[in-house]
Structure 1
Amino acid sequence: MNWILNVVPPKIRSFLKKETPENLWVKCPESGQLVHHRDLESNLFVVPGSEYHMRMNAVARLASMFDDGRWDEVSGSEVLLDPLKFRDEKRYVDKLRDARTKTGLQDAVKVGAGRMDGRPVTVAVQDFDFIGGSLGMAAGEAVVAGLEHAVANATPFILFAASGGARMQEGMFSLMQMPRTTVAVRRLKAARLPYLVVLTNPTTGGVTASYAMLGDVHIAEPGALIGFAGPRVIEQTVREKLPEGFQRSEYLQQHGMVDMVVHRRDMKATLSRLCGLLMNDVVAEAEDHPGLPLATAAE
């Protein structure tokens, strides 16, 4: 065995140990290209060359949307941790604890309020790394709290959706978040405030069947999988070969389900321009926001 393990005391050993990130290099799922994690992070988690959009965690997403990366968290009411005392291969409370340790989040949705190009906005982000971005009571409460904050402060509400669907460990309590969030969206629209939805990879299940498809404008990131059931399930059900690119952003834009597909580097400028148009603000010159021409936004 290594002499350090046998001779050096544990405290000194821990001091000598060099910490190395586990994900120092990230492999692009599309091209196989290896990218240093710092380069990937500085490029908004988009792989240079292939332009493949990797998943972006909630905190990084919020920081990229707000001016100077500064925002205040909007918290919802506390909910029951494990209403059904659910257990499969492990207890649900243990799974929640592991997800919180892994992501640093309390649940799958994080909501922030701040300024985007000087304009007050409220932004909610679903983090797929937290149990697949699944919709449970805490996630639903966070979305509702964000919508209520937008109404109370007269701001646009922007949602970044990423989910595998409802959280089965919470059963009917999870399913009830679909009508709850839908009612909250109706209240936002009754207040005549914009609701913009950004569909990221993947957005499926009960989230797609509720608040993710109720936006005034639906934007998708390139290559995102969007739908209710996945393509493999649909193929097995209908027993037919699906069209190439079925349920991907570009296919859905061509067939009218998505309004526009926007690269992540242009996302903030696009959302800012849309908020300005829908809030009847004075719009800045087009060259200041090259991500979205005026003609495109007006259409």
Structure 2
Amino acid sequence: MSNWLTDYVRPKIRALVSRNPDLPDDLWRQCTSCERMIFHRDFEQAQRVCPHCGHHMRVDPSFRFETLFDADSWQRIELPKVAADPLKFRDQKKYADRLKEAQTKTTRQDALEAAHGKIDGMPAVIAVMNFAFMGGSMGTAVGEAFLAAAKLAVLQEAAFIVFTSSGGARMQEGALSLMQMARTTVAVEMVKDKRLPYIVVLTDPTTGGVTASFAMLGDVQIAEPGAMIGFAGARVIEQTIREKLPEGFQRAEYLRDHGIVDMVVHRFDLRPTLVRILDLLLRKRRELKAEPAAEPVVPATVGEAPTLELVKASEQPVE
């Protein structure tokens, strides 16, 4: 039987409680630090920094490329492929299955991506670690990708900028993962041998084998506010030394105050800071390339050059 309750009130109530299919699922984001809600437009305008507490939330490589490179000046580097499961490792599930899950979740092949382009007109290669891919762990794929990016920086005479975010070595690859510490260190030395800038931006978290290798070799060490940076975990250190660690230990600001990193830079100021650093480090190289080749300087002489006989005569003792 039709009446005003069924024909008018009930549809209104259903419209209120049912989700609009045209509305996106991620209209609101929750800060992982203060747990307050942020409207998605405000979240993006703030470059994924919480407007309430200033917490810098983790971002993917695409965000770094889009916010740092000049518009329409960059493109991704095709990275070399490696053996997917060299040790046929299995714990609670196969390593190959874990890789596939991470690749499906992130739509990326592994934990490091790289791109080349211009930053304020200056050439740069940027490599970014993705913590969402198996905790940014470093395996053979990360080592190969890092080496490829470093070689391209040398080839293009570009600055090499690396964003670290990692839990350390990838245990499923055993000693092969540990070998990447040496390989990435060699790649850094290739860049430095060509007198090209190597800049590291430490983001939350940077730990383990990454900290023990290429993360701490930068010509300039930058960190994002509040980033956790260290080798072993604070609890392990406390248990080892049997002492209480100081407040803020292994945070970016603590490391800056103790000389481990050069500066802590807010995400809003990161691109201008990189532009200033690159201008300082690349200016002389650009000036030398822009100057025409100087002609060889011929020393001025008065009269004719002395002959061999005159030189010998002048060497004789005077009686």
- Interval of TM-score (by shorter of Structure 1 and Structure 2): 0.7 to 0.9
Stretches of structure 1 that go unaligned for 5 or more consecutive residues are 1-15, 284-299
SS at match of 2:283: coil
In structure 1, the partner of 2:218 is: 215
C-alpha distance in 2 between matches for 1:180 and 1:58: 22
SS at match of 1:241: coil
Alignment deviations for residues 218-252 of structure 1 (CA, whole Å, 9 cap, x no partner): 00000000010111221222222110000100000
Q: Does the CA-based 8 Å contact 1:219-1:261 persist in structure 2?
A: yes
Alignment deviations for residues 19-39 of structure 1 (CA, whole Å, 9 cap, x no partner): 765544222233221112332
In structure 2, the partner of 1:245 is: 248
Q: Match for 2:194 among 166, 191, 194?
A: 191
* Residue 161 of structure 1 pairs with residue 155 of structure 2: no
Normalization by structure 1: what TM-score?
A: 0.86
In structure 1, the partner of 2:10 is: none
Q: Does the CA-based 8 Å contact 1:112-1:122 persist in structure 2?
A: yes
Normalization by structure 2: what TM-score?
A: 0.80
C-alpha distance in 1 between matches for 2:149 and 2:235: 34
C-alpha distance in 1 between matches for 2:27 and 2:227: 25
Q: Does the CA-based 8 Å contact 1:276-1:282 persist in structure 2?
A: no
C-alpha distance in 1 between matches for 2:115 and 2:27: 29
Distance 1:112 1:231, change over 3 A: same
C-alpha distance in 2 between matches for 1:199 and 1:176: 22
* Residue 235 of structure 1 pairs with residue 250 of structure 2: no
Deviates more, 1:245-254 or 1:22-31: 22-31
C-alpha distance in 2 between matches for 1:129 and 1:281: 39
In structure 2, the partner of 1:296 is: none
In structure 1, the partner of 2:63 is: 60
* Residue 132 of structure 1 pairs with residue 135 of structure 2: yes
Q: Match for 1:87 among 87, 90, 100?
A: 90
C-alpha distance in 2 between matches for 1:29 and 1:99: 21
SS at match of 1:280: helix
Quote how far apart the aligned CAs of 1:76 are. Answer: 2.8
SS at match of 1:120: strand
In structure 2, the partner of 1:100 is: 103
C-alpha distance in 2 between matches for 1:47 and 1:176: 38
Query: Counterparts in 2 of 1:269-280, with a 5 A limit?
Result: 269-280=272-283
In structure 1, the partner of 2:177 is: 174
C-alpha distance in 1 between matches for 2:234 and 2:252: 14
> What amino acid is the match of 1:197?
V
C-alpha distance in 1 between matches for 2:270 and 2:255: 18
Equivalent residue pairs, number: 268
Distance 1:281 1:19, change over 3 A: farther
C-alpha distance in 2 between matches for 1:182 and 1:229: 20
C-alpha distance in 2 between matches for 1:281 and 1:75: 31
SS at match of 2:204: strand
SS at match of 1:113: strand
Q: Match for 1:48 among 21, 37, 51?
A: 51
Distance 1:282 1:34, change over 3 A: farther
Deviates more, 1:64-73 or 1:131-140: 64-73
Structure showing greater radius of gyration is 2
C-alpha distance in 1 between matches for 2:268 and 2:72: 15
**Percent identity over paired residues:** 55
SS at match of 1:88: coil
Runs of 4+ deviating beyond 3 Å: 19-24
C-alpha distance in 1 between matches for 2:89 and 2:262: 39
Q: CA RMSD in A?
A: 1.8
